[in-house]
A and B are shown apart, each in its own frame.
Chain A
């Protein structure tokens, strides 16, 4: 496939930037071997992120691969930051770090430049947030769009409703209450995820401790990353299978549904004002239509049986007719006999 001039330029820029970065890092590594200081992790990893972003833009006009590129980019950012951080540490400390120090390095590597500060030290929460999909994004976007009203709604919560707008006011109060509840459940859920992240680092330390034996040592960044993933997933599973998580997860889902339902009701109210059909009405029509189709199917499937039954009845009637005809003839014969007699 031929590259467009824009793409070629972007590709060349990206290559040049990568090359500069690698050259610089290579030099720094060599210097470190010679006893000089290791490269500053912060500045270097900022280049990492820029490089990856630029790389991902090379696929901007190829929708088929865009989603995969985005997912790869999200994963690679964390991994490259980890690689950078570990390589720098291993250069600087000549591999003489203890388990705790390595764990701290791992923890720091998730807090790379450009990452959401709210997710620092919480890679599980980041992994969850990075899951793309409109199903997940849709609700966040909905919450963002109604956020400006939330503050106003809070103020209305305790006010008594009266007058001809009483129903509207009560509805807004319920919506505000639902939003606050959703926020509370989200906080509880996030707290559990943070606990799982923390537990993940504990398990990582345990797993590292097991690798102290000869032949079991971790010798590559990828192996180290994979070990951390094992620990993180194990910790997440521990939390996610707990009774507490079940309760919080259910409460979060239910709270979200209540907010959605209140917003839908509000949208329906507006639709009615504008003379437009509502979802409730469409659902109602759909339900009736579905029931009618089921009944029609049932009747159509019963039809062959009905036809067979009618045919059997006809045959029976025919037999009866024949028998009746025969019996009519028989008395006549008897009568003639009696006449004779």
Chain B
């Protein structure tokens, strides 16, 4: 039997439908204004240079005993955790009684060319943690690190554990040398010193280009062909455009921090191999003895599950929990399943440890 049985009439029908969608898009794409993001109101409670810490305001007062500080990656904007009303990790955590704060790292420019990992982790992050603890009137807080922010949070917990009650990592790379890690594979032949000495800060467009080339046809062609299906639906189109805006709203990367992150994490894999030093401090995951919840996505193409899963073998804590989410690197915040599963999992895990 032939593998393809495309009925000409059906093929014509498909083509006509696509044409109708294109025609409809002339109206819908014009109706859609510049999409906005952020579902939850917030107030700035601390700022330093380009870094701002926000506290989100829920409908009710938080019932949790310790606040959560979300530490996002440097490579994208943090509003992914509060993208829109029906896709918001923050909103769902607030509804469960959590007190949620977030670090916005801002957009580095030439003035930040020499900012190091020491500045980010032992400087900005430490002072953000102190600011949140002070604002909430507690001695210790819960830290929730996402992606690269998760790696930062691990380093922070390994060196400043006295400031933390619990640590949560989401889609966080730990073992950078697993065979399916394409990004890591590519960076290992790079002369990162030459790269940063030449570019200074690393342009966001270059970072985006690199991410798109991880799956060039799927991310650069198939996705937009699928967009044909929603061209006549304003609400879905707005969701699509909002996501597009987030994907390409990327900050440049501070040169020195980028150099160190590539050299020590991607190339050296020092987080698990050992020998990692940040600001003269030894960073050993064995020093982390507070409870750890590690959440990763099973279909993550940026941080493969194999890169996150080994965390349990390397941290010193006896209270380690792991949660595999059925979805991808972005779906873990914005999919319908994520809204149902992730916030309750975090809330439940924290509740058991802060009674």
Question: Are B123 and A297 in contact (CB-based, < 8 A)?
Answer: yes
Partner of A212, one of B2, B26, B188, B227: B2
Question: Are B213 and A102 in contact (CB-based, < 8 A)?
Answer: no
Given contacts A247-B189, A261-B197, A286-B111, contact A136 B209 (CB under 8 A): yes
Interface of A is mostly: helix
Interface string of A231-273 (1 = CB under 8 A from B): 0110011001100011111110110011011001000000000
Q: Which residue of B lies closest to A237 (CB)?
A: B182
Question: For residue A287, which residues in chain B have a CB less than 8 angstroms away from its CB?
Answer: 113-114
Question: Are A64 and B33 in contact (CB-based, < 8 A)?
Answer: yes
Is A120 among interface residues, defined by CB-CB distance under 8 A? no
A-B contact count (CB 8 A): 247
Question: Are A72 and B227 in contact (CB-based, < 8 A)?
Answer: yes
Question: Are B8 and A219 in contact (CB-based, < 8 A)?
Answer: no
Is A324 among interface residues, defined by CB-CB distance under 8 A? no
Given contacts A62-B29, A257-B198, A283-B113, contact A218 B18 (CB under 8 A): no
B307: min CB distance to chain A, Å: 14
Question: Are B29 and A135 in contact (CB-based, < 8 A)?
Answer: no
Question: Are A212 and B197 in contact (CB-based, < 8 A)?
Answer: no
Question: Are B123 and A76 in contact (CB-based, < 8 A)?
Answer: no
Question: Are B2 and A217 in contact (CB-based, < 8 A)?
Answer: yes
Residue tally, chain B, CB below 8 Å to A:
72
A75: min CB distance to chain B, Å: 4
Question: Are A133 and B12 in contact (CB-based, < 8 A)?
Answer: no
Interface of B is mostly: helix
Question: For residue B195, which residues in chain A have a CB less than 8 angstroms away from its CB?
Answer: 253-254, 257
A21: min CB distance to chain B, Å: 9
Q: How far is the CA of A279 from the CA of B224 in the complex (A)?
A: 39
Most chain A beta-carbon contacts within 10 A, residue among B8, B188, B206: B8
Q: How far is the CA of A68 from the CA of B231 in the complex (A)?
A: 12
Within 8 A of A (CB), among B260-307: none
Q: How far is the CA of A221 from the CA of B15 in the complex (A)?
A: 9
Question: Are B217 and A279 in contact (CB-based, < 8 A)?
Answer: no
Interface string of B83-122 (1 = CB under 8 A from A): 0000000000000000000000000001101110001000
Question: For residue A25, which residues in chain B have a CB less than 8 angstroms away from its CB?
Answer: 12, 15
Is B41 among interface residues, defined by CB-CB distance under 8 A? no
Question: Are B222 and A226 in contact (CB-based, < 8 A)?
Answer: yes
Can you spell out 7 A-B residue pairs with CB atoms less than 8 angstroms apart? A25-B15, A127-B220, A127-B221, A138-B205, A218-B5, A246-B189, A290-B113
